[in-house]
C-alpha cells in the first residue's frame, strides 16, 4: 500500500450508496403515489368533478370577498393581514363575491352537461388573468392584480378548473 496514492474505494462506495438512496426514494415515492391514487380511485367522493369545483370555488370566492370587505385581506395593502404582497381591493371583493354566488348557483341549478363547459371557461379565464397579470399589467380596469401572488393564484385556479373539467374516470377494477 502506497500512502502517496489516493484510493477511489470510498468515493465509489459513496456514489453507490447515493444511487441506492435515490433508487429507494424513487420506489417509496412511486409506492406512495400508487397508494394515494388507489385511495382516491376507490372513493370517488374525493375525486374533483365540475360540480365540486363550482361548490368549493364558490365557497372560497364568497369567503375571500367577505374577508376582503371586512378589512382582513383588504381593501388596502395596509389593512390586509398579508400586507402589500397580497390584498384585494374593493373592485376585486365585489367580483369575487359575485363570481362565488354565481358558481354556487351554477353548481345546484345547472345540469352536469352545462357545468363542465362553464368550468372550462373559468379555467381558461383564470389562465388568461394569470398571463395578463404576469406579463401585461397589474391593473385590469381598476382591479389590482398584485404579482406574484395573484399570478400564482390564478395559475392554480386555472389548472384546478381544467383538471376538474377534463379528468377521466378510472376504469372499474375487474374482480378475478
Residues in the chain: 176
Q: How many helices (DSSP H) and strands (DSSP E) are in the chain?
A: 5, 2
* 80 SS3 class: coil
pLDDT tens, position by position, 4-28: 554 555 555 455 555 555 555 555 5
109, three cell numbers: 341549478
Express each pLDDT in 117-175 by its tens digit.
999 999 999 999 999 988 888 778 777 777 678 889 999 999 999 999 998 665 444 45
* Closest among 122, 96, 125 to 110, alpha carbons compared: 122
Amino acid at each position: 500500500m502506497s500512502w502517496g496514492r489516493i484510493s477511489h474505494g470510498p468515493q465509489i462506495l459513496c456514489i453507490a450508496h447515493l444511487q441506492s438512496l435515490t433508487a429507494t426514494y424513487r420506489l417509496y415515492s412511486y409506492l406512495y403515489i400508487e397508494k394515494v391514487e388507489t385511495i382516491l380511485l376507490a372513493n370517488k367522493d374525493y375525486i374533483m368533478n365540475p360540480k365540486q369545483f363550482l361548490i368549493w370555488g364558490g365557497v372560497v370566492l364568497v369567503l375571500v370577498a367577505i374577508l376582503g370587505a371586512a378589512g382582513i385581506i383588504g381593501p388596502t395593502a395596509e389593512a390586509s393581514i398579508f400586507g402589500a404582497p397580497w390584498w384585494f381591493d374593493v373592485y376585486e371583493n365585489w367580483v369575487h363575491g359575485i363570481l362565488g354566488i354565481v358558481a354556487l348557483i351554477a353548481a345546484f341549478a345547472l345540469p352536469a352537461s352545462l357545468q363542465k363547459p362553464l368550468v372550462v371557461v373559468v379555467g381558461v379565464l383564470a389562465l388568461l388573468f394569470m398571463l395578463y397579470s404576469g406579463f401585461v399589467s397589474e391593473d385590469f380596469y381598476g382591479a389590482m392584480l398584485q404579482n406574484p401572488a395573484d399570478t400564482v393564484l390564478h395559475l392554480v385556479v386555472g389548472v384546478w378548473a381544467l383538471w376538474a373539467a377534463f379528468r377521466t374516470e378510472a376504469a372499474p377494477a375487474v374482480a378475478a
